[in-house]
Structure 1
């Protein structure tokens, strides 16, 4: 619905997400909600990423223009690698290098864009000063949740001016700027897996330094989340950054169907239709998280031991140059034929999760996947790997919305029995009923269209008011 009054000029907003689909998709969802109100969005990314984004609904296509920025060539980045899903984890720092080199083509576009605002991601510490010189205001739009941004802390800590966190153990407890009791912190094995996030890497800057620059220089902080779900974390962010902090809502995924997706879906639906209602465990770890070979073996054997049908989306490698190609245990596919599916390519996740046969979701706790599970009332079994996933898992555990597979605190190892037992607990057993019920209770909070609409109206009013000053 167009909310622009006759005398008002539509806003022109540029969006520039980090080169990861877990970032690009929520940015696109926000772009669609803003375009629905009659405003113009220029969505900037690289050519291959734009091609791979979901198709726009025809009524929004005239209002969302894709701006294709040529991907810079840098050392150690494979040909055609434009997103984190195209490269192994150790190569992502070189992708950040290439991404920083997009400053020049983006600046060139902004000069002639007549943009009012630019929405940018956590990697873009250089962007707000560039935009400011051109008279364009900036929003740091975080697809990370309020607890994650609150846990990261003030700019002084992020940029290394205040030695608030020195050892990995410092990340395993709630920080001093959080004034309430909480279990929201990393477990030791989680922080050790992402130690490069807090230390300088080959891109020249740590991820926390980048985020600090974004938080320091932006005009407004916009965060994917609901004030009603986590009001105390919004207050923490407001207190430590002392600038406007707005909720974007949970941005539930909207799907515009196209024919090739339906062809992929057809055989999957046929298999799911044969399974009893609520018995299938759906297993997927997003576009970035890739388990080790040992973890894949444990997950496979755990699925087998659970005695439940499963649909597993397994990324066997991250991009064609990834040398570590994952394999299933010997004999696994023969033993589980008929009762399980392993799919090694893209799948229509929302359609699978919406099917009545699916009764639970074994997930990495990436927030887009969490929101999609809540949209479809699927209880969560959590197995974290990277980035913000450990923090997300603590939030879900605290609110009894998800149950984490038990793991060794030091190295994060787990057993096939713990996988099987966790799945059965959440999906079948009386003890896990609370997880099944809480997910259903949260649905309205996460996907209520009126609340989401109100958040977008508040955001647009805020953007207008700042332009008028």
Structure 2
């Protein structure tokens, strides 16, 4: 569209935030707009294959590497992503280290050609707001959440209804098109910060993020209008129209290698085995189980999940995440001989799973998910039924959208948020093996209506990003808005 535009993209260094922003960089650059993405050396190693392939194809993407001072802030060498943290209690160290990127960026800002026309920043990287003000360009927020979540958050901030309630007292979320009932214990940390000094400290940080976010020029959403029409329209009204839904980003990856390497450049024999195993399964017969890059089930809760999968007799792929409890989980797997018992019917994946590849395979019929927004919209785009097991942040909101608004999933029965920083909740079990088994059977054997709804939403997702589709039109409107703003500033 224009060779004099340059969109500066600044992600939070965390898979669930970096991956969609890399996809976004590719999406924008396909409109002949230069994109500069800010990233650190360790993350270049991790995501560089996808970026360099895009650059080699002729897309105008540039990588701006900034040094991440991990060891200077008490972090292990090479710890440049939140999922690399040995403990979430080091989160403050990580964010303090991230703030050093501001001066580095400001020092090279005027050397960037063309001069950046706007900053598109993850909302958690608050210092980018100051950079945008200093260089007098629009600061656009990428939140990585749905408009349903954005609207629910806005309405709770205004009404403060949650402040009068006990943790497990049901209430209807105010001001929504659908009747959605939740409890305070299921709300994100902004409204439900947890106990103790740590909870109070994080609440202040979240309030600061919220306050900063309200000053944004506009908001980009990884969603599409057909998925949450009423919520997008209302959120646009609140934001004076400067909301652009340009997703789903995962649909952008048509190349099998791009799909496989979205979260890691390393593909090993385990990946090859996984695909061959999927090829051998019947269509829509497999359930894929992954609770995200950060969610870390306690060992007792992992055991309930694993035994529920086994009892279902349904073929499955289970991604094993344990964090600092990984050794306990591996010890149980070995002593219980779980993998031997499910051999041929179940596959366990350690480390990074090529999620988009798996979800798009003909053999996968359902997705047991933590309802992070990336996973949620990837599941919607793949047209698979979902079993929802939210853990924290916006995930209970996403569950309600999938189950009650879209109608493409069922709840496994999680009752409350498990705060990432609360690593002492070592023996908590919210979901029993019977709950897991029953939900799987319900979706895989009886869920015809859910599967039909899922297939319909897949078609809508595909249409949205095609030429003339809702997301394609919104992307062009966003670029035109920044172009108009840039030309006005040049003329002034």
Residues 191 and 463 of structure 1, relative CA distance in 2, 3 Å threshold = closer
Residues 48 and 205 of structure 1, relative CA distance in 2, 3 Å threshold = farther
Indicate the SS of the match to 1:343: strand
The 1-side partners of 2:310 and 2:383 are apart by 24
Match of 2:62 among 44, 59, 65: 65
The 1-side partners of 2:12 and 2:415 are apart by 32
Residues 378 and 80 of structure 1, relative CA distance in 2, 3 Å threshold = same
Residues 453 and 238 of structure 1, relative CA distance in 2, 3 Å threshold = closer
Partner of 1:25: 19
The 1-side partners of 2:15 and 2:416 are apart by 30
Partner of 1:55: 50
Residues 416 and 192 of structure 1, relative CA distance in 2, 3 Å threshold = farther
**How many residue pairs align between the two structures?**
452
Residues 66 and 186 of structure 1, relative CA distance in 2, 3 Å threshold = farther
Partner of 1:415: 432
* Unpaired runs of at least 5, structure 1: none
Please give the TM-score of this superposition, normalised by the length of structure 2: 0.83
Indicate the SS of the match to 2:284: coil
Indicate the SS of the match to 1:222: strand
Bigger CA drift: 140-149 or 82-91?
A: 82-91
Residues 213 and 296 of structure 1, relative CA distance in 2, 3 Å threshold = same
The 2-side partners of 1:420 and 1:454 are apart by 43
Residues 20 and 34 of structure 1, relative CA distance in 2, 3 Å threshold = same
Residues 209 and 192 of structure 1, relative CA distance in 2, 3 Å threshold = closer
Please give the TM-score of this superposition, normalised by the length of structure 1: 0.87
The 2-side partners of 1:35 and 1:22 are apart by 21
Q: Map residues 94-243 of structure 1 onto 2, 5 A cutoff.
A: 94-113=93-112, 114-153=115-154, 157=157, 166=163, 169=166, 173-176=171-174, 178=175, 180-183=177-180, 185=182, 188-189=185-186, 191=188, 195-196=192-193, 205-216=204-215, 218-242=216-240
- Asked whether the 8 Å contact 1:17–1:27 carries over to 2, the reply is yes
Residues 343 and 36 of structure 1, relative CA distance in 2, 3 Å threshold = same
Indicate the SS of the match to 1:261: coil
RMSD, aligned CA: 3.1
Cα deviation digits, residues 231-287 of structure 1 (max 9, x gap): 322243344444622222222241544596375432112222332332211111121
Higher helix share: 2
- Asked whether the 8 Å contact 2:301–2:429 carries over to 1, the reply is no
The 1-side partners of 2:443 and 2:184 are apart by 22
- Asked whether the 8 Å contact 1:14–1:41 carries over to 2, the reply is yes
Partner of 1:437: 452
- Asked whether the 8 Å contact 1:41–1:63 carries over to 2, the reply is yes
Bigger CA drift: 69-78 or 145-154?
A: 69-78
The 2-side partners of 1:210 and 1:172 are apart by 27
- Asked whether the 8 Å contact 1:317–1:325 carries over to 2, the reply is no
* Unpaired runs of at least 5, structure 2: 258-264, 418-427
Residues 225 and 274 of structure 1, relative CA distance in 2, 3 Å threshold = closer
Shift of 1:394: 0.6
Shift of 1:367: 2.1
Bigger CA drift: 439-448 or 266-275?
A: 266-275
Residues 163 and 31 of structure 1, relative CA distance in 2, 3 Å threshold = same
Residues 359 and 22 of structure 1, relative CA distance in 2, 3 Å threshold = same
The 1-side partners of 2:201 and 2:127 are apart by 17
